[in-house]
Structure 1
Amino acid sequence: MNAWTRRTISGSAALSLALLSLTACGSSGSGPGADSIANTTVGLLLPEKSSSTRYEAFDKPLIEKSVASLCTKCTIDYANADNNETTQKMQFDALLEKGVKVILLDPVNAKDTAPWIEAAKAKGAKVVAYDRLASGDVAAYVSFDNARTGELQGNALLDALGPKATDANVVMINGAESDPNAASFKSGAHKSLDGKVKGIVYEQSGEWKPDVAAQKMNDAIHKLGKTGFQAVYVANDGMAASVIETLKAAGIKNVPVGGQDASVDAVQRVLTGEQTYTIYKPYQPETDAAGTIAVLLLKGLDVSSVASSITESNGAHIPSMLLTPIVVTKAKVAVTVIDGGLYTKDEVCTAAFTDACAAAGIQ
């Protein structure tokens, strides 16, 4: 599962082809194929909003913008499950009852969605797995190369340790076991770290919950002692923030800690040196891909010709768009998240971080 076979076509080229297809069909209701849209609603179900700010701040508004730019008559029916699988199932069922024919699903628990997908197919609806690969016969999958994300996280931790890496013990706080992305991040990180550090001396799931990550970090400190580890791999920024506070409370300093998602507070911690790195996933290419695929499916068009890759999952070959993540260190804040348009200088360099921004060359 989650083995990728790359095609020669790039993700950006695939999106360009998709946009050409939509233009030919008339995104605002003119041209051949436009009248075939019987239902102009796209369902959007996102998983949570407490551990990561990205879904409400970026994914939702950018997907709404993407769909609207391609289909002026289309609307988004949105719900966030706030990390509750039962809630998300009710939200999914509600969309089916409304007759929604295309659903973008970022599942709380990707392992249990196969019956959901079958229920959708029975009602003539198609499900696109967004950001996390849902189990079941989904119509398409849009995400980042998650194993590569884990590799980048591991490599960034090694860079931070430098020549001390071979003698370093590492604590790992992974994502939720119900999330296939977390497994990919974990395997990618192990690929980078195994054999390059002295050992992984403590490894637990933080369940994508900052309070759980703090508990696990406290447990690691209790078992290993304050000098029993030299770096901490953390799967995302929300958990990294709580791990950093836990280390501070224990009086532990100069231990590299990384995360991912490039939340603005994480970027600011990177600038001050509290957090060693984060991973920037340019959200707009991902949301544009999701919006493009959703509108193509609404129009009854085949998405396989515009996919940048194929994901193999339980024997199925799923048309996919998998994008490339980027490491953000202090030296790279300006050229990544600011120049990339994720944040403005003013959003990052608030009064408390003016000196840190200046030291990083952000003018």
Structure 2
Amino acid sequence: MSRTTARTATLLAGATLLAGALAGCGGGTTATPAAAEGPRIAFLVPSTSLRSMAYDVPNFSVELAHRCPTCVVDVRTAEDQAEQNAQGQEAIRDGAQAVVVVALDGAQAGDLVSAANSADVPVVAYDRLIKGSAIDYYVSFDGGAVGELGGRAILDAVGGDTAGGAIVMLQGDPADNNAGLFAAGAHSVLDGKVDVASERYVAGWSADQAAVEMRSALADLGGRRLLGVYTAYDGLAAGALQALTEAGLPGVPITGQDAETAALQRILAGTQTMTVYKDLPGQARATADLVADVLDGQDPQTTGTTDNGAGSVPTVLLQPQAVGKAQVQSRVLADGYTTVDALCAGAASRTCADAGISAGS
């Protein structure tokens, strides 16, 4: 039994699980509905995370409403970890009975977790592991597998012609635990197979900063051919491609992650090699079911545990998938992750048509 389940009776004393509502999703903190009758769940996300409002929050809220119709999802967005810690503490004072958090800096979220532990409020680390603090659950994708898929794509694209060449690696934000997992997975595939001319971590997962880093990385080639660019995120791929275009280096194999619509368009156009697709709605729904189980006094199903430096954290790890041109329709569109209308808007209509993708397909 998890430590969360052991204290569930305290959390639910007097709570009736009936109907759901989603609090507003503005910046900073959100107002709480005056007539909230059921448990409140604080969902803390970075203000810069587009996926949070596009996938995480809405899918979590809808799924939770099926299980806990009066549950209220209190969404709060933060610019940095200090602000997020303060938001979590405030949400707990306001009566949150569970906290789901996408930590901006998983090593600096201790104040938030301490406040939750003192109030017997369970904490679910969502997508990004919180390290060094006693959290209750962790729900994410297999970060090592994400990196492995990108690394294999680079090797497949390069083939055996590596003489006199090297690759560049653009990793994610060093404050994000996932960035290290992705990097380790990629290295497990690439090390010993291809030379790495330059490896850089990109603060904030910023596309603009990725362009800056890519420009500098090109200088590290030292006259060698650029065989490919491994990037850990589609936004980093966009920045790297900007720098490559400026340098007159078209057609370089380049990887990404998250299956963003712009990246799928680049894949169809042939300027990005692949992306790592993660079922973000599925992750949100799995987390909602986990929270509902905890609030209902049940032990949620997990896939294993993760050592976060403070103990073994019950974990749900989902598996990512590689997506190239052939899988855009059969996998991403088929799952409803994006729509044909969004994918094929504007100039992308031609590449969609070339790939046999149309509104009726």
Q: Residue in 2 aligned with 1:331?
A: 326
Check the 8 A contact 1:54/1:263 in 2, yes or no. Answer: no
Give the distance between the partners of 1:169 and 1:227, measured in 2 at CA: 6
Check the 8 A contact 1:81/1:88 in 2, yes or no. Answer: yes
**Residue 28 (1) aligns with residue 18 (2):** yes
The correspondence for 1:317, drawn from 312, 316, 341, is 312
Check the 8 A contact 2:81/2:109 in 1, yes or no. Answer: no
Equivalent residue letter for 1:81: A
Q: Residue in 1 aligned with 2:120?
A: 124
**How far 1:354 moved relative to its partner?**
2.2
Q: Residue in 2 aligned with 1:16?
A: none
1:257 partner SS: coil
2:313 partner SS: strand
Query: Compared with structure 1, are the counterparts of its residues 345 and 165 closer, same or farther at alpha carbon in structure 2 (3 Å cutoff)?
Result: farther
Q: What pairs with 1:191-230 in structure 2 (closer than 5 Å)?
A: 191-197=188-194, 199-207=195-203, 208-224=205-221, 228-230=225-227
**How far 1:166 moved relative to its partner?**
6.2
Q: 1:20-65 deviations in whole A, cap 9, x for unaligned?
A: xxxxx99537xxxxxxxx951111011242xx53222111111111
Gaps of 5+ in 2: 1-14, 20-36
The correspondence for 1:349, drawn from 334, 344, 350, is 344
Question: Percent identity among equivalent residues?
Answer: 34
**Residue 294 (1) aligns with residue 291 (2):** yes
Q: Residue in 2 aligned with 1:246?
A: 243
The correspondence for 1:88, drawn from 84, 87, 96, is 84
**How far 1:226 moved relative to its partner?**
7.3
**How far 1:205 moved relative to its partner?**
0.6
**How far 1:333 moved relative to its partner?**
0.5
Q: 1:103-161 deviations in whole A, cap 9, x for unaligned?
A: 00110000122332122110121100100111211111110001000000101111122
Check the 8 A contact 1:39/1:100 in 2, yes or no. Answer: no
Query: Compared with structure 1, are the counterparts of its residues 351 and 93 closer, same or farther at alpha carbon in structure 2 (3 Å cutoff)?
Result: same
Q: 1:299-357 deviations in whole A, cap 9, x for unaligned?
A: 33333xx1122222325121111001011101111111101110122221123122212
- Between stretches 334-343 and 38-47, larger displacement belongs to 38-47
Q: Residue in 1 aligned with 2:265?
A: 268
Check the 8 A contact 2:16/2:38 in 1, yes or no. Answer: no
Check the 8 A contact 1:260/1:279 in 2, yes or no. Answer: yes
**How far 1:227 moved relative to its partner?**
5.2
Equivalent residue letter for 1:308: T
**How far 1:228 moved relative to its partner?**
4.2
**Residue 99 (1) aligns with residue 98 (2):** no
Query: Which runs of at least 4 in structure 1 moved beyond 6 Å after TM superposition?
Result: none
**How far 1:361 moved relative to its partner?**
3.0
Query: Compared with structure 1, are the counterparts of its residues 226 and 356 closer, same or farther at alpha carbon in structure 2 (3 Å cutoff)?
Result: farther
Give the distance between the partners of 1:266 and 1:170, measured in 2 at CA: 20
Check the 8 A contact 1:39/1:298 in 2, yes or no. Answer: no
Give the distance between the partners of 1:323 and 1:176, measured in 2 at CA: 21
**Residue 53 (1) aligns with residue 50 (2):** yes
Equivalent residue letter for 1:170: I
Give the distance between the partners of 2:94 and 2:147, measured in 1 at CA: 39
Equivalent residue letter for 1:284: P
Give the distance between the partners of 2:218 and 2:197, measured in 1 at CA: 11
Give the distance between the partners of 2:197 and 2:206, measured in 1 at CA: 21
2:326 partner SS: helix
Q: 1:200-259 deviations in whole A, cap 9, x for unaligned?
A: 110111121122211111111233367542211111111211111111112111211111
Gaps of 5+ in 1: 1-24, 30-37
The correspondence for 1:179, drawn from 163, 176, 179, is 176
Q: Residue in 1 aligned with 2:29?
A: none
**Residue 111 (1) aligns with residue 107 (2):** yes
Query: Compared with structure 1, are the counterparts of its residues 63 and 188 closer, same or farther at alpha carbon in structure 2 (3 Å cutoff)?
Result: same
1:116 partner SS: helix
Paired residues, number: 326
Give the distance between the partners of 1:295 and 1:167, measured in 2 at CA: 56
1:58 partner SS: helix
RMSD: 2.1
* Structure with the higher helix share, 1 or 2: 1
> Relative contact order (alpha carbons < 8 A, sep ≥ 6): 1 or 2 greater?
1
2:160 partner SS: helix
Give the distance between the partners of 2:210 and 2:318, measured in 1 at CA: 27
